[in-house]
Amino acid sequence: MSAWPNPTPRGRWRPDPARQQRADYQVTDLQHLPDDDSRRVELVDGALQIPPLPTLGHQDISGLLWMWLRRHAPADIRATRAVAVELSHNTSRRPDVLLCRADVPSERSSLRPDDVVLAVEIVSPGTRRVDRFAKPGEYAAAGIPFYWRIEQDPVHVYAYRIGDRVGPGGERQYELVADGPDVITLTEPFAITLAVAEITP
């Protein structure tokens, strides 16, 4: 039995059913996925997942925020989009926008949690539960210090930092430090005054 995704009748691949059922994929397996599809795949507790395709509005917000962060972030922090973050040996997510350390080599196709300064998720109809609950829990447990959740229609930014509160599994959790539909002012991860209109399509 093949360990890699099998083609479907329409020429698209799908995860190997036996491995999906066992949930025994690991982040190292992601290197062997077809190039066209590996850019979207996430790995969650050993099972491969393909998130819903983003909407135009989602992509507009993502692009505007990425450009804003590139213009304003200090030299030791780099803004990027949709790069895989290996949260554990069997979980890898792709935040919509990220800030990572600028010294991470450009040839890297995935990041470790300690490379990441900020993970941002833009909530769409098909990702509400994951972006509001699952991903922040995973990012905090992996030690990513800052998380932003951006709601659409209207655009509203929620900024979190990792706090001292401990969850039921012993992992640290995020605490909300700022939110608003107009202006977000923060001192971390750098001095930020973001007018939400600047990232609103």
133-160 pLDDT tens trace? 999 999 999 999 999 999 999 999 999 9
**Is the pLDDT assigned to residue 15 strictly greater than 90?**
no
**Is the pLDDT assigned to residue 18 strictly greater than 90?**
no
The whole-number pLDDT of residue 9 equals 45
**Is the pLDDT assigned to residue 45 strictly greater than 90?**
yes
The whole-number pLDDT of residue 8 equals 43
**Is the pLDDT assigned to residue 30 strictly greater than 90?**
no
Q: How confident is the model at residue 11 (pLDDT cuts 50, 70, 90)?
A: low
What single string gives the DSSP state of each residue in the chain?
Answer: --SSPEEPTTS-EE--HHHHHHT---GGGGGGS-HHHHTT-EEETTEEE-PPPPPHHHHHHHHHHHHHHHHHS-TTEEEEES-EEEEETTEEE--SEEEEETTS-TT-SEE-GGGEEEEEEE--GGGHHIIIIIHHHHHHHHT--EEEEEETTTTEEEEEEEEEEE-TTS-EEEEEEEEESSEEEE-SSS-EEEEGGGG--
The whole-number pLDDT of residue 6 equals 45
Domain locations in the chain as residue ranges: 6-49, 56-199
Instruction: Provide the mean pLDDT of the chain.
Output: 90
**Is the pLDDT assigned to residue 4 strictly greater than 60?**
no
> How many percent of the chain have pLDDT more than 70?
91
Class of domain 56-199: alpha beta
The whole-number pLDDT of residue 10 equals 53
The whole-number pLDDT of residue 35 equals 66
Q: Which of 120-124, 170-174, 195-199 has the lowest mean pLDDT?
A: 170-174
Q: How confident is the model at residue 3 (pLDDT cuts 50, 70, 90)?
A: very low
Mean pLDDT value of segment 35-45: 77
The whole-number pLDDT of residue 166 equals 84
Q: Which of 41-50, 73-82, 98-107, 143-152 has the lowest mean pLDDT?
A: 41-50
